[in-house]
């Protein structure tokens, strides 16, 4: 590769300003958690699909590798360049147009660099709902959400990003454009290319646009907190809520006492309406009924839970602002945690039924092996997905704790997850953080099939090398 000629060619294609090599590029070269810092050959910002295709063709001609990036909020180090100074950082951020809304078909077509919040807003402007929702929604892009098959807080009712996508436009490693922007709900014409690219973390192609599913907006939505004495009680509450509210139960998030204590410490302005309890549950119910009917039904369910001794206390939001405040508490946990210092994150999936036993055994094993560790355990219990994070003991230097103990902590947790038939990555992906886990824990047959797909779609290994596989 001759970097100087590639840069000249890229500047000729996109214009001087869209090929950045000078100044502070840390917004692109460093990840959100500040765990990985790389050095790009250049940060390249195409403005449309044809330009993306030309960039990929130029990189292919010059033998350069590429790292696609959206909002750079990923948590597994998949969207930042390595330290070699040879990788082109391809930012999709300028591709943020809404291309089409089809109200009758309940679809929305947007470019990959659209920020998730803008996608939600475009749906709301058409009086419809795009339900994907996560704490990074003000910065993450729909391209990144699809590339990581993001989950978030509405999966219980609406599924992951994959379930919300009908069609894609993708630029291949060779720089060809695949126009798969269909809004069809049924299309059995061969292999599903869309599902190959979703969740591929920028290793198989560059997503440039997507056609997304929309839904009618609920007439009413009610939110509450409930405190539980144990995870078994949280599960009993989940069962009760599902039985009484059916598909109307859109959110069911759990937070352990320590995670909310971190929010209290670092975001003391956020009111916590319930007294500290071993577990606090955030429930959301959305309904096509009017507000009063929806509230009555939700309150009846909470009363039954109190009566049965499943919950100790509840706090029902009385307004949209109060409901947003309850969600803020939940969303502040990852932020409070990074204020507290570096930690070992685990984004694990388990059969919901296995969770109480898993936590009881794994908490005890961790505490025995690493005395004083603090567990920030929270997440999407309704989906069987926990953010089971380990913070070092108070007073111990965090980077030193991580350097010494991270591999052993991961082994202990992931072995326990595997023994329960769970997954070491529920919604964040593999990136570089969990590449070795994938190599170690996936079956040889699965790994062989994945490598065959990579080889077929990106034979020269141009796209995000060293990530996932
Ligand atoms: P980036 O970080 O830019 O990239 C992520 C990966 O996708 C990289 O491998 C990159 O190469 C690839 N990529 C990006 N754009 C494209 C594209 N157009 N084509 C091909 N590949 C591409 N995730 C959840 O699932 N649920 C949560 O609840 C959740 N909460 C979060 C809360 C916080 C505070 C933060 C910081 C993150 C959270 N995440 C969550 C992580 C989540 O994966 C990202 O927020 C989001 O999905 C990534 O979007 P992005 O645009 O920032 O992608
Ligand atoms: Zn999550």
C-alpha 116 to ligand 1 mean position (Å): 10
Domain that holds residue 443: 430-459
Q: Closest ligand 1 atom, CA of 335?
A: 34
With 90 as the cut, is the pLDDT of residue 395 above it?
Answer: no
**Does the pLDDT value for residue 131 go beyond 90?**
yes
pLDDT at 1 over 90: no
- Indicate which residue's Cα is closest to atom 21 of ligand 1: 202
Residue 408 falls inside a structural domain: yes
Residues with C-beta less than 6 Å from any ligand 1 atom: 32, 67-75, 78-79, 92, 112, 134-136, 140-141, 143-145, 147-148, 150-152, 201-202, 206-207, 334, 427-428, 431, 464, 467
**Residues 234 and 141 reside in one and the same domain:** no
Indicate whether 81 and 230 sit together in one domain: no
Is 27 found in the same domain as 147?
no
Ligand nearest to the CA of 151: 1
Section 252-274 average pLDDT: 97
Give 421 Cα–ligand 2 centroid separation in angstroms.
20
Contact 173, 158 (CB under 8 A): no
What is the C-alpha to C-alpha distance for residues 401 and 391, in angstroms, rounded to an integer?
Answer: 9
Q: What is the mean pLDDT of the chain?
A: 97
pLDDT band at 346 (very low <50, low <70, confident <90, very high): very high
Q: Which ligand is closest in space to the CA of residue 93?
A: 1
* CATH number, domain containing residue 192: 3.30.465.10
Residue 185 has what pLDDT? 97
User: Tokens 């291949």 map to which residue?
Assistant: 172
Q: Does the residue 130 lie in any domain?
A: yes
Of 76, 113, 119, 74, nearest to 93 (Cα)? Answer: 113
Return the closest-CA partner of residue 89 out of 1, 8, 28: 28
> pTM score, two decimals?
0.96
Q: Computed over its alpha carbons, how large is the radius of gyration of the chain?
A: 23
Best residue among 46, 74, 78 to mutate for probing ligand 1, ranked by most atoms within 8 Å of CB? 74
Candidates 47, 49, 44; CA nearest to 177 is 49
Instruction: Label residues 164-173 b or e (16+ Cβ within 10 Å = b).
Output: bbbbbbbbbb
- Taken as a whole, the chain contains a residue count of 469
Distance 46 CA to ligand 2 centre (A): 30
The confidence score (pLDDT) of residue 360 equals 97
Q: Are residues 244 and 307 in the same domain?
A: yes
Last residue in a domain, options 201, 216, 231: 216
Which ligand 1 atom is the nearest neighbour of the CA of 161? 25
If one residue of 30, 94, 133, 150 were mutated to test the ligand 1 pocket, choosing by the most ligand atoms within 8 A of its CB, it would be: 150
Is residue 77 within 8 Å of 195, Cβ to Cβ?
no
Q: Does 82 lie in the same domain as 135?
A: no
Run of H or E including 328 = helix 320-340
Give the pLDDT mean for 133-161.
Answer: 96
CATH number (domain holding residue 71): 3.30.43.10
**Residue 130 and residue 253 in one domain:** no
Burial class (CB in 10 A: 0-12, 13-18, 19+), 444: exposed
For residue 40, the CA-to-ligand 2 centroid distance in Å is 29
Task: Give the pLDDT confidence score for residue 399 in this predicted structure.
Answer: 86
Question: What would the pLDDT profile of 16-55 be if each residue is shown by its tens digit?
Answer: 999 999 999 999 999 998 889 999 999 999 999 999 999 9
Q: Please say if the pLDDT value at position 342 is more than 90.
A: no
Question: Which one of 40, 65, 91 terminates a domain?
Answer: 91
Number of the ligand 1 atom closest to the C-alpha atom of 160: 25
**What integer pLDDT is reported at residue 242 of this predicted model?**
97
- Assess if residue 181 is contained within a domain: yes
Residue 207 Cα to ligand 1 midpoint, Å, equals 13
The domain spanning residue 230 has which CATH number?
Answer: 3.30.70.2190
Q: Per the structure, how many domains does the chain have?
A: 4
How large is the average pLDDT for residues 434-458? 97
Q: Which residues contact 292 (CB under 8 A, 6 or more apart)?
A: none
Is residue 249 one of the residues assigned to a domain?
Answer: yes
Q: Do 226 and 338 share a structural domain?
A: yes
As a whole number, mean pLDDT of residues 135-147 equals: 97
pLDDT given at position 230: 98
404-436: pLDDT as tens digits: 999 999 999 999 999 999 999 999 999 999 999
Cα 285 from Cα 252, distance rounded (Å): 9
Residue minimizing CA distance to atom 47 of ligand 1 = 145
For residue 151, how far is its CA from the centre of ligand 2 (angstroms)? 7
Is the pLDDT reported for residue 12 higher than 90? yes
> For a pocket test of ligand 1, which of 73, 96, 142, 327 has the largest count of ligand atoms closer than 8 A to its C-beta?
73
Closest residue (by CA) to atom 41 of ligand 1?
Answer: 74
Q: Is residue 424 part of a domain?
A: no
Looking at the fold, whether 335 and 447 belong to one and the same domain comes out as: no
Rounded Cα distance, 467 and 356, in Å = 33
C-alpha span between 44 and 52 (Å, rounded): 10
- What is the per-residue pLDDT across 169-202, written as a single tens digit (0 to 9) for each? 999 999 999 999 999 999 999 999 999 999 999 9
User: 113 and 260: one domain?
Assistant: no
Ligand positioned closest to the Cα atom of 349: 2
Same domain, 81 and 172: no
Specify if 467 maps to a domain.
no
Distance from the CA of 76 to the center of ligand 1, in angstroms? 9
Quick one: average pLDDT of 128-157?
A: 96
Same domain, 383 and 250: yes
Claim to verify: residue 212 and residue 238 sit in the same structural domain: no
- pLDDT tens, residue by residue, 349-384: 999 999 999 999 999 999 999 999 999 999 999 999
Candidate from 29, 120, 140, 379 with most ligand 1 atoms within 8 A of CB, to mutate: 140
pLDDT single digits (tens) 224-253: 999 999 999 999 999 999 999 999 999 999
Cα 43 to ligand 1 centre (Å) = 18
Q: Which atom of ligand 1 lies nearest, measured to the CA of 197?
A: 20
Q: Which residue has the least CA distance to atom 22 on ligand 1?
A: 202
Residue 469 located in a structural domain: no
Burial environment of residue 343 by CB neighbours within 10 A (0 to 12, 13 to 18, 19 or more):
buried
Q: Phi and psi of 391, rounded to 5°? A: -100, 140
In a domain, 112, yes or no: yes
């Amino acid at each position: 590769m001759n970097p100087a000629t590639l840069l000249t060619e890229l500047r000729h294609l996109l214009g001087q300003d869209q090929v950045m090599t000078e100044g502070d590029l840390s917004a692109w070269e460093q990840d959100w958690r500040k765990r990985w810092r790389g050095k790009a050959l250049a940060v390249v910002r195409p403005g449309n699909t044809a330009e993306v295709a030309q960039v990929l063709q130029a990189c292919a001609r010059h033998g350069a590798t590429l790292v696609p990036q959206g909002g750079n909020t990923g948590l597994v180090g998949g969207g930042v360049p390595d330290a070699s100074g040879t990788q082109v950082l391809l930012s999709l951020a300028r591709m943020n147009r809404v291309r089409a809304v089809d109200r009758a078909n309940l679809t929305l077509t947007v470019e990959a660099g659209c920020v998730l919040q803008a996608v939600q807003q475009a749906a709301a402007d058409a009086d419809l709902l795009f339900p994907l929702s996560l704490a990074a929604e003000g910065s993450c892009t729909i391209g990144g959400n699809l590339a990581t098959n993001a989950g978030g807080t509405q999966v219980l009712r609406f599924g992951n990003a994959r379930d919300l996508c009908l069609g894609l436009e993708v630029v291949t490693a060779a720089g060809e454009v695949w126009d798969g922007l269909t809004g069809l709900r049924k299309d059995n014409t061969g292999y599903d290319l869309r599902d190959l690219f979703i969740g591929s973390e920028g290793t198989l192609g560059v997503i440039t646009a997507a056609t997304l599913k929309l839904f009618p907006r609920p007439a009413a939505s009610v939110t509450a907190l409930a405190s539980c004495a144990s995870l078994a009680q949280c599960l009993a509450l989940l069962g009760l809520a599902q039985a009484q509210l059916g598909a109307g139960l859109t959110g069911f998030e759990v937070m352990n006492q320590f995670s909310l204590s971190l929010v209290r410490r670092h975001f003391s302005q956020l009111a916590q309406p319930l007294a500290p309890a071993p577990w606090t549950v955030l429930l959301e119910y959305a309904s096509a009924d009017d507000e009063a009917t929806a509230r009555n039904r939700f309150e009846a369910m909470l009363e039954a839970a109190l009566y049965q001794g499943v919950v100790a206390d509840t706090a029902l939001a009385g307004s949209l602002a109060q409901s947003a405040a309850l969600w803020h508490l939940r969303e502040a946990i990852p932020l409070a945690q990074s204020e507290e210092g570096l930690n070992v994150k685990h984004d694990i999936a388990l059969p919901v039924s296995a969770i109480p036993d898993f936590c009881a055994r794994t908490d005890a094993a961790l505490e025995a092996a690493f005395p004083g560790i603090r567990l920030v355990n929270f997440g999407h219990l309704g989906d069987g997905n926990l953010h089971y994070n380990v913070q070092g003991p108070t007073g111990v230097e965090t980077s030193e704790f991580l350097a010494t103990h991270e591999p052993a902590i991961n082994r202990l947790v992931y072995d326990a997850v595997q023994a329960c038939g769970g997954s070491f990555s529920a919604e964040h992906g593999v990136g570089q953080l969990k590449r070795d886990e994938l190599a170690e824990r996936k079956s040889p047959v699965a790994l062989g099939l994945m490598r065959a797909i990579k080889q077929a779609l990106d034979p020269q290994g141009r796209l995000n090398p060293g990530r996932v596989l």
